[in-house]
Amino acid sequence: MKRITVIPGDGIGKEVMQAAMLVLEELNLPFEYVWMEAGDEAYEKYGKALPDETLEECKKSDAVLFGAAGETAADVIVRLRFELETFANIRPAKSYRGVKCLYDGVDIVIVRENTECLYKGLEFEVAEGVTEGIRVITRKGSERIARFAFELARREGRKKVTALHKANVMKKTCGLFRDVCREVARDYSDIEFNDYYIDAACMYLVMDPHRFDVIVTTNMFGDIVSDLAAGLVGGLGMAPSANIGERHAIFEPVHGSAPDIAGKGIANPSAMILTAVMMLRHFGYLDEAARVEKALEEVIVEGRTTPDLGGNLKTMEMAQEVVNKLKE
């Protein structure tokens, strides 16, 4: 029995979580779901965006399934990543049939280091009108994420790993990351390796995304480039993610709480459903994951979708269509 902490969070997080749970429960797997609160509404109720009870439950669970947080995102999901030591953020960018994409046949996995870089939040005001932020990159963190990327490539039968950095300017921090990636690559002679400056990589992603297979990069660069990649394949509504550590895992869609459409029942549940697919694969339920992914794609191809994908269904109606496909 796998114990999963479910945190719907704020805005459309509640709606897409309900949709994903409808799909998961159809599979009738040995999962125990424990529902907890976190986010803006939790802050208003308890004075903490991530209540102590929620954090403790997350630490006891095999995985966390998270919806979205609003203004308190940094206090919730960023803190959870650090508290649970989920050092690898996995963000696929895949073009699905039926989705209006800039390119067909894109299938990229971005592996983002999740615990270092500027996102450690070491910012200071050193004088009036003068602030500074400290960027932390370590050999340990760089080697761990680089090896994770190569192992993922090998496990999924992928052929190439590309490291992104800016070592020509940030010679110490990015220089260390680049050098460690190159060192790790020598242990994986079966997988092609190269590296690009982050600015050039953004251009290549827009002009020729098929040159990429697995991307490994630092925390902030990974955050930025994964949203860019999502734009190639239909937007954040099609962007799932996983945060993986040695003992814990957090699964969350890349999109935020989308307050502009929250409560309207029209949020695209695809990213949340694909996030659940990533959780299924993490636990070894490969057949079930493939079934859900195929069912979702068929629903999209048939146009039984929310308005952002060209359909006219509500969030839960689209989720029910996926369930109907699974029953077939």
Phi, psi of 207 (to 5 degrees): -90, -30
In sequence order, which ranges of the chain are alpha helices (DSSP H)?
Answer: 12-27, 40-46, 52-60, 73, 79-83, 139-155, 173-185, 198-207, 219-232, 270-282, 286-301, 315-327
Say which residue the tokens 């409560």 belong to: 263
Catalytic-role residue among 199, 208, 264, 294: 199
Residue 207 identity: M
Contact, 204 vs 108, CB < 8 A? no
> What separation, in Å, do the N-terminal and C-terminal C-alpha atoms of the chain show?
27
Distances (CA, A) of 82 to 55, 102, 123, 173: 11, 34, 17, 20
Those residues with Cβ within 8 angstroms of residue 108's Cβ, 6 or more apart along the chain or in another chain? 92, 93, 94, 209, 212, 213, 214, 215, 229
Catalytic residue among 62, 107, 179, 227: 227
Catalytic residue among 10, 75, 195, 223: 223
Q: Is 223 a catalytic residue?
A: yes
260 noted as active-site residue: no
Catalytic residue status for 119: yes
Q: Which of 43, 96, 119, 285 is catalytic?
A: 119
Task: Compute CA distances 63 → 4, 138, 147, 245, whole Å.
Answer: 5, 27, 22, 10
Is residue 166 among the annotated active site residues? yes
**Residue of 14, 166, 314, 325 with catalytic role:** 166
Catalytic residues: 119, 166, 199, 223, 227
